[in-house]
Structure 1
């Protein structure tokens, strides 16, 4: 015979948790409902503008540095994490943050102390692509090349499409605007279902650095709540009470 106290404790805990459902659901309902805009940090603005006017060198760029009629001074070099490249007769030169033309001028200035009127050119062998980013309830979150995904629908498909817990009519687009503000645009679909979401997103052109966030549906949040706040605690209570219940069963058998 199972002890009444054990059953009463489990019933009381379940009742308390059920009473807390509206409160806890409200606490975990954090998906964006209204447009939001905040001022972007200066470093974010500079980073986003890196490809808009001219390519800016950065760590990892592979450079072909050529000095006209002087092959012994020409060199292939990779920009190091510290932003430097090392060249013959020039030593370390800081090129990160410079355009290829400005880097060529920096190399020329360094060579002028040793070489008469050097003509220098710098080319990037592995220019980096503009990217957009897809996060949230998708199957493969991460970066997507902008050249392969000019619209939000195409970026979503390249990210593995929306997951089973996605809110198909509530997708957010985070973008840096011309006034230096990071703005969240809520892309709501007037058509229903998966096709309706893709139809809406296909009409949204993307820009470098855009972030698409596929938000979690209310049903998925509720299922997660049940697992985190109800099923798991009750499972832990059952494991805790199991030795006591077994002891009472043995006592009943011995009688």
Structure 2
């Protein structure tokens, strides 16, 4: 091997280490286990169907879809903000408002068709996969499951630089994925269990990284 070739190989290696150090991605050891993350209480969203039952007042009970502006319309009360509220919270507010018109109302609210959850509880895979897509989350779903559902990676995928983006405490954090190890070597160390809202990004190979 010539000195020029050795120099080129060394330069590529140094660049690779530099880019990895500057990427800000957390190591696999820092990946939070999905089982340890608490599930947030359900909040009503636009498009959800809510069933409102007022005890001994069937004329006030109804099933209604949350409008695009986040409101529902209630007899005696008019428009009521529902979006972003927990069902029990909305029930208390309706109960308090109706107490001005009827004696000791007892209100219960149930979400019978959580349409907004369909979009909040999804997994997305983008970039160099055969079919980038958004799929419904299922308990136990892993990185490998979603990549296979997307048809696998393309010939141009930088499979050792894939990234999992996860929202933690209101902010997205990124974690390195080695799809080459998962798909080729059977190394499942980065085959993480997924959570609703996770995004998997598979970048394209780059010449200056020596990937082409």
Structure richer in helix, relative to its length: 1
Per-residue CA deviation, residues 145-191 of structure 1 (Å, 9 max, x unaligned), is 2216621111112223222321232211112335x553222213574
**Structure 1 residues 189 and 145: CA distance shift in structure 2, 3 A:** closer
2:175 pairs with 179, 182, 185, which one? 185
Runs of 4+ with >4 A deviation: none
Give the number of equivalent residue pairs. Answer: 176
Paired with 2:102 and 2:62, the residues of 1 have a C-alpha distance of 16
Give the alignment of 1:19-168 within 5 angstroms. Answer: 33-34=20-21, 35-36=23-24, 52-127=39-114, 128-129=117-118, 130-147=121-138, 150-168=141-159
Q: TM-score with structure 1 length normalisation?
A: 0.60
Q: Which runs of 5+ in 1 are unaligned?
A: 1-31, 38-50, 223-255
1:176 pairs with 145, 167, 190, which one? 167
Residue 137 (structure 1) shift? 0.9
Paired with 1:214 and 1:189, the residues of 2 have a C-alpha distance of 9
Residue 79 (structure 1) shift? 1.0
Q: Which runs of 5+ in 2 are unaligned?
A: 1-18, 26-37
Report the counterpart of residue 205 of structure 1 in structure 2: 193
**Are the counterparts in 1 of residues 178 and 190 from structure 2 also a CA contact under 8 Å?**
no
**Are the counterparts in 2 of residues 189 and 200 from structure 1 also a CA contact under 8 Å?**
no
Per-residue CA deviation, residues 44-89 of structure 1 (Å, 9 max, x unaligned), is xxxxxxx833101111111111111221111111111211000122
